[in-house]
Structure 1
Amino acid sequence: MIDIAVVDDDRMLLDGLRAWLSGQHRLRLIATASTVDELLAPPAHTPTPAPAPARTAAVVLLDLVLGDGSRPEANVRRVRAAGSRVLVISTIADPAMVVAAVAAGADGYLTKDHALDTLVEAVETVAAGGTAHSPELAFAWVRDTTASRPHLAPRELQVLRDYASGLTLKATARRAGISVYTAKYYLDRVKQKYRDAGRPAFTKIDLARRLDEDDRSR
């Protein structure tokens, strides 16, 4: 069973998820919050004996746009820093905001009109260390035309996104349905394009940093 938390200021959605997940044997809802501040707030002090430490959710379902005006990419970074992986969910499919969230470390994106079974599969993929792909995420990456980002073909973007998210080269190739040699070829092309843009990226950490820089330049 995978422990999850949900950050969303739509109370009806939270109540609906809570009711639906109560009958699930694959996911366990351990926390809900309307903001990341609320989710990450330390537990209130109580007299001894001290309470057991709160569990950290393996995956946090994070709404793309919250009512407190916080930036999606900042929310993603804070949740990741707290030890959880992030699946962004939203009714808003703004390509720039979606790409910024993924570049900041989100492990996938789904719009809220997907079936709940699709949500479960996405959470399981993210919890296992993968990236939850969706048509909306692919659309956002293809439409990303930020001037500071080198122009990358859709397959280059896919390989870059998976590899920079933490997958091995072999896992990246398997997810893309290509050989390891081909995946390496795509990554070499991506690195060359960054070098041509005057922003060298030689390692996986470099690539993740370049994505973060592209996010900060928006």
Structure 2
Amino acid sequence: MITVAVVDDDRMLLDGIRSWLADTPQLRLVAAVATVGELLTGPDGPTSRPPADVVLLDLLLKDGSEPVANICRLRAAGSRVLVISTVAGRERVIAAVAAGADGYLTKDNDLETLVAAVEAVAAGDTAHSPELAFAWAHDTGQTRPRISPKELEVLRAYASGLTLKATARRAGISPHTAKYYLDRVKDKYQQAGRPTYTKTDLAARVREDGIGPTDPDN
């Protein structure tokens, strides 16, 4: 059972989400509120437990709170964050994921897409969407290094948990060449100001940059 909370000030959307999730047995809605502050405080005051496994967060709330700050607060509280927004602007998508959001969907998606995204985020993956793919493909920011297709193939396989030898075998190259590609990727991230030294660091960069899937069977 995955617990879900919704932060959105659109009452019609909140009612719609309640109705949708009522018929989705693998997801349990535990809160539907208008602000992040309301979610984190709760009816009984602040708690040390995450408010939910996954929080569906509207990007632009009427309380004037900053989207990046909201995402950071939710991640600090221990929840994973799936942004649900009417806004699909490239810069907003990139800023949301860079702040720690685990995916980005526009509100015109159907229930099946939403459930799949929540399940992916709860499992520790990035919820991919056309909006997210477009944003990354057209990103001109300085913090996301340019990675070649072969480097990306090796990075995805290795970050998913494969050994160096298994990664090399999957990519059809030698372990020495696979290590060379990984070292190049690490160096590119370090030059972009994002220290990357370990396998855990590489997996984090894959998630942060939305360049999965990291499942070796995909």
* The two structures share one fold, judged by TM-score above 0.5: yes
Residue 132 of structure 2 corresponds to 137
Residue 213 of structure 2 corresponds to none
- CA RMSD, Structure 1 to Structure 2 (Å): 3.7
Residue 72 of structure 2 corresponds to 77
Deviations 1:122-143 (A, max 9, x none): 1111111111111110111112
Where does the alignment leave 5 or more consecutive residues of structure 1 unmatched? 46-51, 172-177, 213-218
Contact conserved, 1:142 with 1:154, CA < 8 A, in 2? no
The answer to whether the aligner puts 1:194 opposite 2:189 as a matched pair is yes
Query: What is the correspondence of 1:67-216 to structure 2 with a 5 Å cutoff?
Result: 67-152=62-147, 168-170=160-162, 179=171, 187-196=182-191, 200-203=195-198, 204-205=200-201
Return the alpha-carbon distance in structure 1 between the equivalents of residues 111 and 78 of structure 2: 25
The count of residues paired between Structure 1 and Structure 2 equals 197
Contact conserved, 1:7 with 1:32, CA < 8 A, in 2? yes
Counterpart amino acid of residue 3 in structure 2: D
Counterpart amino acid of residue 94 in structure 2: V
CA offset at residue 65 of structure 1?
A: 1.7
User: Are the structure 2 counterparts of residues 70 and 200 from structure 1 closer, same or farther at C-alpha, using a change threshold of 3 Å?
Assistant: same
Contact conserved, 2:4 with 2:30, CA < 8 A, in 1? yes
Contact conserved, 1:35 with 1:68, CA < 8 A, in 2? yes
Return the alpha-carbon distance in structure 1 between the equivalents of residues 34 and 157 of structure 2: 29
Counterpart amino acid of residue 141 in structure 1: W
CA offset at residue 2 of structure 1?
A: 1.3
SS of the residue corresponding to residue 17 of structure 2 reads helix
User: Are the structure 2 counterparts of residues 56 and 156 from structure 1 closer, same or farther at C-alpha, using a change threshold of 3 Å?
Assistant: farther
Counterpart amino acid of residue 110 in structure 2: A
SS of the residue corresponding to residue 162 of structure 2 reads helix
Where does the alignment leave 5 or more consecutive residues of structure 2 unmatched? 164-169, 209-218
SS of the residue corresponding to residue 32 of structure 2 reads strand
User: Are the structure 2 counterparts of residues 186 and 93 from structure 1 closer, same or farther at C-alpha, using a change threshold of 3 Å?
Assistant: farther
Residue 11 of structure 1 corresponds to 11
User: Are the structure 2 counterparts of residues 186 and 118 from structure 1 closer, same or farther at C-alpha, using a change threshold of 3 Å?
Assistant: farther
User: Are the structure 2 counterparts of residues 160 and 35 from structure 1 closer, same or farther at C-alpha, using a change threshold of 3 Å?
Assistant: farther
Task: Work out the percentage of aligned pairs sharing the same amino acid.
Answer: 62
SS of the residue corresponding to residue 170 of structure 1 reads coil
Contact conserved, 1:169 with 1:184, CA < 8 A, in 2? no
CA offset at residue 207 of structure 1?
A: 8.5
- TM-score (ref. length: structure 1): 0.73
